[in-house]
Amino acid sequence: MTAMFKSFNSTENEATGSVHRTYPIVSKSRFEATGYVRRINRVRSWKLVFSVIALFGAIQIGSAGETVRIEITEKIDQNTYPKSLNACGPTCMLMQFQNGTPEMQAAHGKLIGSDSAKRINYLIERHFKKKRSVISPELYRWGINGVLTRDMEAAADDWMEENGLDRLDLSGSWLDRENVKEKDSEMVRRIHRMMKRSLEAGVPPILSLKSFVAREKLNKPGEMEWRIGQHHYVLITEVPDSLIRGDEVTKTVSSQGFKLGIIDPNGGMESEIFVFHDSNGQPFTAQKGNGTQGKWISGKPFLQVAAPTVPTLKPANLKWSERVVTIANHLMGKF
């Protein structure tokens, strides 16, 4: 298979009271010529300031101006796939193609099935259950715990290739700190920019969220270790158009995070989450990549996520004394 999916920063460790107005980001005539109908809205609102109370500190998140948004025609519930509880990835991919560029919509239209339930089943059977994992070739992409990030990329590759869509040039990227010199506010702006570019290009990006829990080691009372909690995919539909930049003259602090509009495939619910850098919080350890080939990084290597309306991310059997961190793990879109 010819690789069409660009994957940034992922080779080494990959494994397992507001007024609304519409901006014509691309010409309407181009969409009409292809029968492509979509609405990309930028919403003007008051400056948004959110107080997010995190487990180990409180921060303020600020964004200013308008938002870039893609309206989703059908909010699909992953539970329409009856054979598994772990269809969040393929469900997000189905919505991404259904609401993406004209070419992506055309590929979606070729899926077999009269409704979303049948199309999810066809997508999983064709591009996940019958294809080998790029991480562990002895296994299939579809596993007991769902789909790993690299296998999501590979499935998108396959879907594009069989529809001749190599010019889409979709990208996948881990969202860890770029290097030790990258400042916190620079990291926030870079990741925001990636999400915004994808929406402006007409592709709602898929965000991988991952939780980690600090637990006492088995048979070693008092010794703590970080373990993987839960992993879940959501579809991003809205981001702020711009973030607040720090200015000593006006005594303005740079944004340390921003709100995202999402579709949670678990129920097909429209919701909001908050992506932020917690300057006042404690360091944590998280895994970049998956499984044995993943790399554990300590400090504050990823942006954290407050997602109170996404219950899937809560680790099982959580004790009141255990610390949980949820991160913005990986992004798949056009940026």
Residue 316, both tokens: 């099982």
Q: Measuring CA to CA, how many Å separate 195 from each of 252, 283, 293?
A: 24, 25, 26
In the predicted model, residues of the chain with pLDDT beneath 70 are 1-65, 166-168, 291
Residue 204: what pLDDT?
97
Write down the pLDDT at residue 162. 84
Q: Phi and psi of 284, rounded to 5°?
A: -145, 175
Task: Report the pLDDT value the prediction gives residue 36, as an integer from 0 to 100.
Answer: 38
What tokens does 191 get? 């990741």
Residue 141 confidence (pLDDT): 92
> What is the Cα–Cα distance from 55 to 73, expressed in whole angstroms?
36
**All residues at 6 or more sequence positions from 205 whose CB lies less than 8 Å from its CB, including other chains:** 96, 194, 195, 198, 199, 235, 236, 331, 332, 333, 334, 335
CA angle 118, 120, 122 (to 5 degrees): 70
Whose CA is closest to 325, among 89, 60, 58, 56?
56
| Residues contacting 316, CB < 8 A, separation 6+ | 230
Length of the chain: 335
| SS3 readout for 38-53 | CCEEEEECCCEEEEEE
328: left (phi over 0), alpha (psi -120 to 50) or beta: beta
Hunting for tokens 């991003």 — which residue is that? 236
Contact 46, 18 (CB under 8 A): yes
- Quote the longest CA-to-CA distance of the chain: 67
Dump pLDDT digits (tens) for 114-152: 999 999 999 999 999 999 998 888 889 998 778 999 899
Angle formed by the axes of helices 88-98 and 149-162, nearest 10°: 40
Residue 323 and residue 285: Cα distance in Å, rounded? 11
- Around Cβ 15, how many Cβ atoms within 10 Å? 19
The tokens for 21 are 């107005």
Element (H, E) at 190: helix 184-200
Residues 254, 17: Cα–Cα separation, whole Å: 24
Give the E-state strand segments of the chain in sequence order: 6-8, 19-22, 40-44, 48-54, 57-70, 171-174, 206-217, 220-242, 257-264, 269-276, 284-288, 295-299, 304-306, 323-333
Among candidates 174, 166, 158, 164, which has minimal Cα distance to 124? 158
